[in-house]
Amino acid sequence: MKFRILYAMVMVLTITACGTTPVTEDPAIVGLNAQDTEVEPLALVETTPLMRAPSYSSNAVATIIVNARAAMEKGNYQVAAAQLERAVRIEPRNALLWHYLAQVRFNQGRYSLAANLASKSTLLARGDQALRSSNATLIKQAQAAFTTR
Amino acid sequence: MPKSANNTKKKSPLKKSWRRFIKPLFVIAMTMIAFLFIYTLYLDGQIRQQFEGKRWSLPAKVYARPLELYPGKALLKNELLTELSSLQYFPQADASVAGSYADMGNELILHTRAFRYWDGEELQQRIQIRFSGQHILSIRNLTDELPRDLIRLDPVRIATIYPSHKEDRALLRLNQVPQKLVEALISIEDRDFYHHHGVSLRSIARAMLTNLRAGRMVQGGSTLTQQLVKNYFLSNERTLSRKLNEAIMSWLLDFHYPKDEILEAYFNEIYLGQDGSRAIHGIGMASQYYFGRTPLELGLEQQALLIAILNGPSYYNPRRFPERAIEKRNLILNVMLQHGLITPNEAEHAMNRPLGVLPKPKSSINQHPAFMDLVRRQLSEDYKEEDLRTEGLNIFTTLDPRVQAEAEQTVASELKEMERYYGIPIDTLQSAMVVTDTGSGEIQAVVGGRDPRFDGFNRAVDAQRHIGSLIKPVVFLTALQTQRYHLATTILDEPLEVELSAGQSWKAENYDHISHGEIPAYVALVNSYNQATLNLGMEIGVDQSIQTLRALGVDRPVNIYPSFLLGATEMSPLDVTQVYQTLANGGFTTPLRSIRAVLDTDGNPLQRYELQLKQAADPQAVYQVNSVLNLVTREGTARKLYDTLPQDLQLAGKTGTTNDLRDSWFAGFSGNRLAVVWLGRDDNKSAGFSGSTGAMRIWGKLYQQLGSESLELIAPEGISHLWLGRSDGRITDADCGDSVRLPFTQDILAILPVHGCETNSD
């Protein structure tokens, strides 16, 4: 129990720290930031293009993370997980979201799922060493919790 | 006294006989009263039971995924307009009412509807959406002038799970009915509603007088309470006993329940139209069905039209008989004017308005039976059939209406075109398709056959066919996972005879009947060589490949003989989708889902179907397989995809063909979407198509129609890319010309000789 509370604290800190890292590193979206609402809209493409640019989510995912964090602080893991899954649908390749989802599941005591989610996060994390090591820590703790349970 | 006694005695014959009767009569009368009393008690019990319990059996409503809107979303304005049309949003110059929009070129003013979701309520708001190229550029709320990060539209209803009678309604409270509508209804239908006791002798008398004057039935004397009783408890027969029942029950209802509760029930019960076999009941559902709005958002003329319709839902059907309906509506408006409910100005304005009825929506009974079939299988594990039909559950599915529509259309039109082009008898080809979102494992579309409305044999789930070469990535994945093989390992493409358990032997041949000798492993997968795959699979053991298939998410029984290695095992398109979903997901298996959540009738969450995830295969091995599946589309059996798709679009895929061209398969994925297509005949005769000439053509067309995101494979840690010379088979650390870039694990590279280009001339 003590351990769970300790972990929750660490996790809240991590989320707060990670919250400031860029949500996406896709070079294709540089310059297409949502704040640039003054940019003159381009002409609309009327027919469906054969190749579609992926969605980029500026603030949508950030907003969801804020909501998920609020839900988690209240111990409402179900809602936090639902929110994060919604974010994953928007940005399935955002490694951070998978990590947060892993944290929620860890807090629920669903260690096996948590470890798998963290592995997925690592697969998507590419060069983000900080995130990789957070995932590694979580996986190690999940395995320990799983075996001592 | 004696005299009188005498007198009496004189009259006695008559009086006596009267007396003889009085007792039995009294008994009969008492019996009748007692009977009536008991009968009334019985009716009372019935009424109270019905009225106090669950008043209506509410069908389960099944919804598509809601469309999420946010700056940066890849969405064309046309696609949003299509969604809005499915949702019965209507154009309106200033979009002042929820459910309306104004199209202004590169931007759209949208007035969204409120909706209760699993994780909370989405409020109605008036927003401005600006588009730029393929994306939403910005979203701004027009009330507070602030930007919005994320908005969810209400979801399209795709199906309804009905009780036997197929009544559809959206329940309301009385305060959700416009006051004018309430007043108008009472003044027209039942002036004394607040004063009578369920039955009104005055209105019966008034009606009789009116009818006598007119010489025919023009007015009914029924109170609203009686109309409710008639609709709610009784059949439509016109007999005296029914009239009596109606009167007693109306009186009882009035005795037990407040007037407003009766009125509320009336507004929810009343029959207002027919949509195929679906009966529209209640003001709430009727407002949606005719106007795409909630009752409180109805204009005066629309409220009057609803009263007109309830007078004869088929006779005054505004979609079929607009003139008749408008005439009756104006009559109602006139009566409202006479009763002082509206001003002459209001009346005139409303009478000059058009009907304001939307085009008939697509039937929401069951638009996509193949997808619904999957949903119902999932639901039946968690819910009783009875509850699904009556509890008013809200079921949120993963269906993407645009993808589903394109998938259905593509299958139907391509099969028709192929039959025409190749002179194949009409309607003999069949096909099935499953489309998923690779990231979440959510099923976006299911096509169960060429007729998308056919609610029968669902080939996507129930057709079990040999999968042919679709099994090959599983065999190669198995080999790579042993770490004894890499993509450049030399394997033998030569005839191989395999002993079967029955003492028989079996010899596999290549599709082109040519043996290619010693080749690098990747070449065998790119070109789908049977002999090389069989050799490789036999080296590692059939069991090993079966185990891999199991890990990837298939649990049905499989063929355990060597022919398994060439796909001589039966699977459904859905099974295949699960396998390729795991590949597309980097080796993580996610059970495919068609449902996100179930809410009860009041919007309280009952159950959520969560995202499950399990690492099923080594990500390094999966990455190597996926890299080859990418090469399949570039230089292998699927290269013809680029006849129609743009060169810079990256894809991964695999063709599959079975003996005598019985089955034609294609499984492939782009950056965001996976689709598996099967094509063949129901009688299992030769359809005449290979994987690339049949199923792949449908797949390519679908991806063309939807527009695809490019695939970007993320290399796991410990993977390096090197070049393999096509002619000399040397592995080099740079592109030395005529070579192919392949991924290797660092463990393999530690024991492989890697050359530089300068040594190339040796």
The position carrying tokens 């009372």 is B44
Tens-place pLDDT, residues B70-98:
999 999 999 999 999 999 999 999 999 99
Position B501 confidence tier, pLDDT thresholds 50, 70, 90: low
B contacts of A58 (beta carbons < 8 Å) = 70-72, 149
Instruction: Write down the pLDDT at residue A28.
Output: 32
In single-letter form, the type of residue at position B373 comes to: D
Convert the pLDDT of each residue in A70-124 to its tens digit.
999 999 999 999 999 999 999 999 999 999 999 999 999 999 999 999 999 999 9
Is 50 exceeded by the pLDDT of residue A10?
Answer: no
- Please name the residue of chain B whose CA is at the shortest distance from the CA of residue A114: B613
Residue given tokens 């809200």 in the structure block: B394
What count of other Cβ atoms lies within 10 Å of the Cβ of residue B346? 16
pLDDT the model gives residue B35: 87
Q: Where are the domains of chain A?
A: 2-20+58-148
Look at residue B14 in the predicted model and tell me its pLDDT.
62
Q: Using CB atoms, which residue from A34, A52, A92 is nearest to B74?
A: A52
Residue A27 neighbours by CB distance under 10 Å: 7
- Single-letter code of the amino acid located at B345: N
- pLDDT tens digits, one per residue of A22-68: 333 333 333 233 333 333 444 444 567 888 887 776 789 999 999 99
- pLDDT tens-digit profile of B616-633? 999 999 999 999 999 999
Of residues B149 and B247, the one with the higher pLDDT is B149
Residue pair B711/B670 in contact (Cβ under 8 Å)? The answer is yes
Say which residues have a Cβ less than 8 Å from residue B92's Cβ, sequence separation at least 6.
B100, B101, B102, B111
pLDDT at A3 over 60: no
CB B40 within 8 A of CB B242: no
Tens digit of pLDDT for each residue in B40-51?
888 888 888 777
Which of A40-49, B667-676, B685-694 is the least confident region?
A40-49
Phi, psi of B302 (to 5 degrees): -75, -35
> Pick from B442, A105, A108: which is nearest to A120 by CA?
A105
CB contact under 8 A, B135 and A56: yes
Mean pLDDT of B562-569: 93
| Strand-pair category, B708-709 with A51-52 | parallel
Residues of chain B found within 8 Å of residue A89, distances taken between Cβ atoms: 68, 437, 439-440, 442
Q: Which of B612, B672, B706 sits opposite A54 (nearest CB)?
A: B672
DSSP string, B350-415: HHTS---PPPPPPP-SBS-HHHHHHHHHHHHHHS-HHHHHHB--EEEE---HHHHHHHHHHHHHHH
Mutation to test the A interface, candidates B104, B137, B585, B604, most A Cβ within 10 Å: B137
Write the Ramachandran bin of B503: left for phi over 0, alpha for psi from -120 to 50, otherwise beta.
left
> Quick one: CA dihedral B90, B95, B96, B98, positive or negative?
positive
Q: Strand order of the sheet with strand B595-599?
A: B157-161, B60-63, B394-397, B595-599, B605-608
SS3 for B591? coil
**CATH fold of A2-20+58-148:** 1.25.40
Q: Nearest CA of chain A to the CA of B632: how many Å?
A: 19
The span from the CA of A35 to the CA of A32, in Å, is 8
**Residues of chain A with C-beta less than 8 angstroms from the C-beta of B151:** none
Say how many C-beta atoms besides its own lie within 10 A of residue B460's C-beta.
Answer: 27
Strands (DSSP E) found in B438-522: 442-447, 465-466, 490-493, 497-499, 505-507, 517-520
Nearest to B71 among A46, A59, A120 (CB): A59
Question: Cβ–Cβ contacts within 10 Å for residue B273, how many?
Answer: 21
Reference B704, options B757, B657, B658, B644; nearest CA is B644
For A63, other C-beta atoms within 10 Å of its C-beta total: 17
Q: Which of A30-44, B282-296, B307-321 has the lowest mean pLDDT?
A: A30-44
Token couple for B370: 């193949």
Contacts with A123 from chain B: Cβ below 8 Å: 586, 588, 619, 714, 716
CA distance B406 to chain A (A): 12
- Active-site pick, B203, B469, B664, B690: B469
In sequence order, the β-bridge partners of residue B443 are B436
Q: Backbone phi, then psi, for B164, in 5-degree steps?
A: -60, -30
Residues in chain A closer than 8 A to B443 (CB atoms): none
Structure letter (DSSP) for residue B666: E
pLDDT of residue A88: 93
Average pLDDT, chain B: 90
pTM of this structure: 0.85
CA of A26 to nearest chain B CA: how many angstroms apart? 11
| Other residues' Cβ atoms within 10 Å of the Cβ of residue B665 | 31
Q: Say what the pLDDT of residue B108 is.
A: 96
Nearest to A51 by CA among B717, B473, B648: B648
Task: Check if the beta carbon of residue B647 is closer than 8 Å to that of residue B623.
Answer: no
For B101-127, write each residue's pLDDT tens digit.
Answer: 999 989 999 999 999 998 888 999 999
pLDDT digits (tens, 9 = 90+) for B593-602: 999 999 998 8
Out of A53, A59, A126, closest to residue B149 by CB: A59
Give yes or no: B189 in active site: yes
Q: Are B434 and B445 in contact (CB under 8 A)?
A: yes
The answer to whether residue B323 is catalytic is no
Supply B444's token pair: 């976006």
Confidence of residue A6 (pLDDT cuts 50, 70, 90): very low
Find the mean pLDDT for residues B487-495.
95
Chosen from B106, B119, B403 to mutate, greatest number of chain A CBs within 10 A: B119
Distance CA B367, CA B372 (A): 9
* Other beta carbons less than 10 A from residue B610's beta carbon: 17
Minimal Cβ distance to B440: which of A42, A88, A122? A88
